[in-house]
């Protein structure tokens, strides 16, 4: 079995003015892909694996057309050099937006299909926050999506997609894909699988997999901060029985539609000033406060300083903010040196609309990993400590803080740019508070500009009739 492997993986808010370029992606090329821990399951199944290119970036704004075209051209050139092939595995996200293009994954997958031809089986793995389209479905034979948010089953999902591909090649069975749109778009913060009703909706999916003719059942939340025609929730089912796959897709779709009004935020959630009032009165710790509107892992810019400004205004003592993206501020700290005091502008380094503050700060620590865009600086502003990053990145791992000498468990208040907390931070939060902050992925969904989505959607239109209409992939009709 000769199987090529590649893909592109990111999530893009169309409300962000900050384009992503090639420098924002971590890229595995050729043998690098096989050596990466991310793909070390590919040795399972005794297939001959032909690594192509896989590009992955922290979510952000739209991908520049120049960057996308460069990645796609290299991917296709490597793919063209591979034939003959039996299979192609694509590790995707599903919510990428490219400037001037509405369905970037549809373009990527269709281009791959045009190269490999109709007889090669294509399998794809997706984030459950990906947006699916008929163009995408029509090119695929196998589809598998994450079943957890926060995402703790990324590897498991990739293995599901890989294993189904091996199964098809070994047995000669011809799987296909059916899907059903669900006109609902809700944020990940209201649809975490840690909370009801999403928890129950996802827990039943493995049961569908055991039905005759069903290989893999998926429920896609979709990505709400992409104002584009394909944005939608949906059910996607891989199987060997067309009618069974359509029936399961309809069941999943109807269950989400019926539950749509029951979704709520999991943590205590209030506007910024109200959530800080709660934090001030809280005696337990660590309080972990999520700055939800500027969360880089959801597509936020990551350079807003409004939470910092609010803490300064309150003369807060004992807070750690991790972190604010501001390369000029980091470079100013490195120029000044550890222990130095300086006047520092923080915030608004990427998006001119992002709020900033100008403060007197002391450089507490410099973290230099040789590459200028990987540098970090820790500054003190009165009783507040701020981690500044030269490059857009989340601070969601315990190691993000311990590397800099901080123990998150010992903090009175830890502020992170996040929505729902990561699997590492959530267990230690005491309590977990989420601020409804501004930003390009703010939670005020009903008031998001909604100009390009196709048809009626909840919650923009609270009441209308809906009946699932499962559609088969063109390859399965």
129-165 pLDDT, tens digit per residue, is 999 999 999 999 999 999 999 999 999 999 999 999 9
pTM: 0.96
The pLDDT score that the predictor gives to residue 134 is 98
The answer to whether the Cα torsion of 460, 190, 422, 29 is positive or negative is negative
Mean pLDDT calculated for residue range 80-104: 96
How much of the chain, in percent, has pLDDT values that exceed 70? Answer: 100
The pLDDT score that the predictor gives to residue 371 is 86
Let me know if 371 is exposed, middle or buried by CB neighbors in 10 A (0-12, 13-18, 19+): exposed
Max CA pair span of the chain = 70
User: What is the distance of C-alpha 245 from the center of its chain?
Assistant: 27
CB 286 within 8 A of CB 428: yes
The pLDDT score that the predictor gives to residue 195 is 96
Residue 44 reports pLDDT greater than 90: no
Q: 285 pLDDT band (50/70/90 cuts)?
A: very high
Which of 4-8, 122-126, 361-365, 448-452 is the least confident region?
448-452
Alpha helix (H) residue ranges in 314-461? 327-336, 398-402
Q: How far apart are CA 375 and CA 390, in angstroms?
A: 6
The pLDDT score that the predictor gives to residue 450 is 87
Q: 454 pLDDT band (50/70/90 cuts)?
A: confident
Q: How far apart are CA 316 and CA 308, in angstroms?
A: 10
Residue 370 reports pLDDT greater than 80: no
The pLDDT score that the predictor gives to residue 131 is 97
Alpha helix (H) residue ranges in 81-214? 104-116, 134-139, 154-171, 198-203, 205-209
Q: 253 pLDDT band (50/70/90 cuts)?
A: very high
Q: What is the pLDDT of residues 299-333, one digit of tens each?
A: 999 999 999 999 999 999 999 999 999 999 999 99
Q: What is the 3-state secondary structure (H, E, C) of the chain?
A: CEEEEEEEECEECCCCCCCECHHHEEEEECHHHHHCHHHHHHHCCCCEEEEEEEEEECCECCECHHHHHHHHHHHHHHHHCCCCCCEEEEECCCECCECCECCHHHHHHHHHHHHHCCCCEEEEEECCCCCCCHHHHHHCCEEEECCCCCCCCHHHHHHHHHHHHHHHHHHCCCCEEEEEEECECCCHHHCCCCCCCHHHHHHCHHHHHCCCCEEEEEEECCCCCCCCCCCCEEEEEEECCHHHHHHHHHHHHHHHHHHHHHCCCCCEEEEHHHHHHHHHCCCCCCEEEEEHHHCHHHCCCCCCCHHHHHHHHCCCCCEEEEEEECHHHHHHHHHHCCCCEEEEEECCCCCCCCCCEEEEEEEEEEECCCCHHHCEEEEEECCEEEEEECCCCCCCCHHHHHCCCCCHHHCCEEEECCCCCCCCCHHHCCCEEEEECCCCCCCCHHHCCCCCCCCCCECCCCCCCCCCCCEECHHHC
CB 232 within 8 A of CB 183: yes
Mean pLDDT calculated for residue range 249-276: 97
Q: Which residues pair with 178 in a beta bridge?
A: 237, 472
Which one-letter DSSP state was computed for residue 184? B
Query: How far apart, in Å, are the Cα atoms of 399 and each of 32, 408, 432?
Result: 25, 10, 19
Q: 65 pLDDT band (50/70/90 cuts)?
A: very high
Which one-letter DSSP state was computed for residue 296? G
The pLDDT score that the predictor gives to residue 477 is 87
């Amino acid at each position: 079995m000769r199987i090529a492997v590649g893909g592109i993986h990111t999530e893009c808010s169309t409300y962000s003015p900050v384009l992503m370029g090639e420098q924002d992606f971590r890229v595995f090329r050729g043998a690098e892909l096989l050596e990466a821990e991310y793909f070390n399951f590919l040795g399972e199944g005794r297939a001959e694996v032909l690594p192509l290119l896989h590009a992955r970036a922290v979510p952000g704004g739209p991908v520049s057309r120049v960057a996308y075209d460069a990645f796609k051209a290299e991917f296709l050139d490597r793919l063209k050099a591979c034939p003959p092939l039996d299979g192609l595995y694509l590790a995707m996200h599903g919510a990428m937006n490219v400037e001037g293009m509405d369905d970037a994954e549809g373009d990527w997958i269709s281009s791959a299909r045009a190269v490999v031809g109709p007889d090669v089986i294509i399998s794809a793995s997706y984030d459950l926050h990906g947006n699916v389209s008929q163009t995408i479905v029509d090119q695929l034979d196998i589809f598998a999506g994450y079943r957890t948010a926060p995402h703790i089953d990324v590897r498991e999902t990739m293995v599901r997609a890989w294993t189904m591909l091996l199964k098809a090649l070994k047995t000669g069975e011809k799987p296909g894909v059916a899907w059903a749109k669900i006109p609902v778009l809700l944020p990940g913060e209201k649809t975490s699988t840690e909370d009801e009703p999403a928890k129950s909706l996802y827990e039943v999916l493995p049961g569908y997999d055991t039905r005759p003719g069903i290989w893999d059942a998926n429920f896609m939340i979709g990505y709400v901060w992409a104002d584009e025609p394909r944005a939608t929730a949906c059910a996607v089912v891989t199987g060997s029985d067309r009618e069974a796959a359509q029936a399961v897709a309809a069941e999943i779709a109807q269950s989400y539609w019926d539950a749509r009004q029951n979704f709520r935020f999991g943590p205590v959630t209030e506007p910024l000033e109200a959530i800080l009032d709660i934090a001030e009165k809280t005696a337990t710790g660590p309080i972990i406060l999520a700055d939800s509107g500027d969360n880089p892992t959801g597509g936020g810019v990551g350079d807003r300083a409004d939470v910092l400004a609010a803490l300064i205004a309150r003369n807060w003592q004992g807070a750690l903010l991790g972190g604010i993206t501001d390369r000029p501020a980091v470079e100013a700290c490195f120029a000044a040196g550890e222990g130095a005091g300086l006047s520092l502008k923080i915030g608004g380094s990427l998006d001119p609309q992002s709020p900033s503050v100008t403060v007197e700060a002391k450089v507490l620590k410099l973290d230099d990993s040789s590459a200028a865009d990987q540098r970090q600086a820790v500054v003190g502003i009165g009783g507040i400590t701020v981690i500044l990053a030269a490059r857009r990145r989340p601070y969601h791992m315990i190691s993000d803080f311990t590397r800099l000498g901080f123990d998150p468990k010992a903090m009175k208040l830890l502020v992170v740019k996040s929505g729902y907390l990561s699997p590492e931070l959530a267990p230690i939060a005491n309590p977990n508070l989420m601020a409804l902050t501004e930003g390009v992925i703010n939670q005020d969904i009903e008031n998001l500009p909604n100009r390009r989505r196709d048809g009626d959607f909840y919650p923009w239109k609270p009441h209308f009739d809906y009946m699932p209409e499962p559609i088969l992939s063109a390859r399965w009709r």
